[in-house]
Each structure stands twice: as structure tokens, then as C-alpha cells.
Amino acid sequence: MQDMPSNKRIASWAMGVIHLLFPERAALGFPNVEAVQHAFEEAEAELLELLLKTKACSHCDNHRVSKEFFMDLPKIYETMHTDAQAIMNGDPAARSLREVIRTYPGFMAICVYRMAHQLWKAGIPLIPRILTEYAHSKTGIDIHPGARIGEYLYIDHGTGLVIGETCIIGDHVKLYQGVTLGALSVEKSMTDTQRHPIIEDHVIIYAGATILGGKTVIGHHSVIGGNVWLTSSIEPYTTVYHQPNSKFVYAEGDS
């Protein structure tokens, strides 16, 4: 279909919205409040056009979806800001929020995910996946739009990070590069089941760790060391790591 918008245009819309929310990313300038309001109105109109032209959802009220998305955008922005603050608070190399917002790939990937997830919750297919795959291609960070992620998500470096569709992540979670939050099985019959792990609040998962399975719960305030492989739950306040000179994983409760 000639009118079908390209993936590039859909991604461009999303990045345009992110630039409106964080104008320092694009050095945007507006002469007055009315100009800012007009820019957001244009972005809302473009989202409606994209929804109509993709024809991804025949039963959706696209006018309602686009309007409600922008009504919810202030809350989405607030959550994005917690993510930037988490990176700023957690990374000694970060000198300012402006640096985090402009340069950190983890922050960009989270922002795109936050927008895609909002559309996913509204029942919109296709577009959310296009958005998160765009972020994946740019950052190496693969977050499925169906994942449920709390506030203050900290992603450091992030290359090779994978977060599956049914993963649930709490608040103040730190994830490093190469972490996989995946499924034990990829059978098609499991489409509507909890396949990916639950990560509770204040958990740190270091580089290369793999946590699999829908019944796997990582208790709050736990620390998962680098290259650990987990397919079973652990209690809160637990540290898990590879014991030196051993092929086994050693788990120790801190409380």
C-alpha cells in the first residue's frame, strides 16, 4: 500500500516527541508557549495519521488512542525523568542530567520503550514493535513493549540487554550490559502466559547475567553477579554470584 508509513517515519515521529519532551537533545527553540502547544498538537495529529494509515488495528478508536496518548504524556515524561535521575545518581561518570539525556543510549532506549508501552497498553499492534526495534537497532538494547517496568530504571552501557514481553520489573532496578531476562521455553502455545521473570524493587543485575522463566522471582534488594545463570526464584536481600574456581553459582542471604 502506497500510503503505508515506513518504519523510518514512525520512528521519526517518536524521536520528534522525545525531542519535544527533552529539547536539549535537538537544540529546539520556541518563541512562546503557544508555539510549544502547537508542536505537540502537530505530533498528536501525526500519531493519528500513522494509526489510520498502518491499519494495524481495525477495531481501535484511533482518535481516542491518539488523544489519550498525549493526555498521558506528562506522566510518561515524569517517569522518563526518573530514569534519567536513576542514571545520574548511579553512574559516577555522569556529570549532569543534560549529559544523561543527550548521550546515554540506555536513556534513549528507555524513553522509546515508555512510549511504545503506552501504545501497547492501548491495544495498538505493530507500531510499538517498530519503535522498540528502532531503539534496539540504535542502542543494542532490546526491550519488548509489552514488558512492565517501574520507575527509576537504570541501564548502564546496555549493549546486548534483552527484556522479554512478559517481564515485570519493579522500581529502582539496575541492569548492566548483556543481561537477559528471558523465557525458558519459546513454544507458541505459551503466547498468553507469564514466560519471563519478575524482578522486584531495588535489584541490581550485573553484566552477562541470564534470568529465565515466568515462575522466577528475584526478591527485592537482591544482587545478581556477572554471568550468573538463574532459572529459579531467590529470596529478598540475596546475593548470587559465581564462586571462584567453581562451575556452580553460590547464593547467600544478606539478612
Dump pLDDT digits (tens) for 3-55. 789 999 999 999 999 999 999 888 777 888 899 999 999 999 999 999 999 88
Q: Which of 137, 198, 140 is CA-nearest to residue 169?
A: 198
Question: Do 219 and 233 meet the contact criterion of CB atoms below 8 Å apart?
Answer: yes
Mean pLDDT to the nearest integer, 139-156: 98
pLDDT tens digits, one per residue of 47-80: 999 999 988 777 889 999 999 999 999 999 999 9
- Residue 245 C-alpha cell reads as 574456581
High-pLDDT (> 90) share of the chain, %: 80
User: Model pTM greater than 0.85?
Assistant: yes
Round to whole Å and give the CA distance between 218 and 162.
16
Predicted confidence band of residue 252 (pLDDT cuts 50, 70, 90): low
Predicted confidence band of residue 247 (pLDDT cuts 50, 70, 90): low
pLDDT at 97 over 60: yes
Tell me if residue 5 falls in helix, strand or coil: coil
Domain residues of the chain, as ranges? 1-141, 160-255
pLDDT in the model for residue 255: 42
Tell me the CATH number for domain 160-255: 2.160.10.10
Residue type, 230: L
Q: Which secondary-structure segment (H or E) carries 65?
A: helix 62-90
Round to whole Å and give the CA distance between 128 and 143.
11
Would you give the DSSP letter of residue 167?
-
Strand positions, DSSP E, the chain: 142-143, 148-149, 154-156, 162-163, 168-169, 174-176, 180-182, 198-199, 204-205, 210-212, 217-218, 223-224, 229-230, 238-242, 249-253
pLDDT in the model for residue 78: 98
pLDDT in the model for residue 1: 46
Helices 105-121/127-139 angle, 10° precision: 170
Predicted confidence band of residue 189 (pLDDT cuts 50, 70, 90): low
pLDDT in the model for residue 46: 97
Tell me the CATH number for domain 1-141: 1.10.3130.10
pLDDT in the model for residue 147: 98
Could you identify the residue written with the cell 547467600?
Answer: 252
* Mean pLDDT value across the chain: 92
Q: Which of 131, 127, 21, 32 is CA-nearest to residue 83?
A: 21
Mean pLDDT to the nearest integer, 193-211: 96
**Between the CA of residue 221 and those of 71, 129, 182, 203, 224, what are the distances in Å?**
34, 31, 20, 5, 10
pLDDT in the model for residue 134: 98
Compute how many other C-beta atoms are within 10 angstroms of the C-beta atom of residue 96.
Answer: 9
Question: Do 254 and 239 meet the contact criterion of CB atoms below 8 Å apart?
Answer: yes
Tell me if residue 166 falls in helix, strand or coil: coil
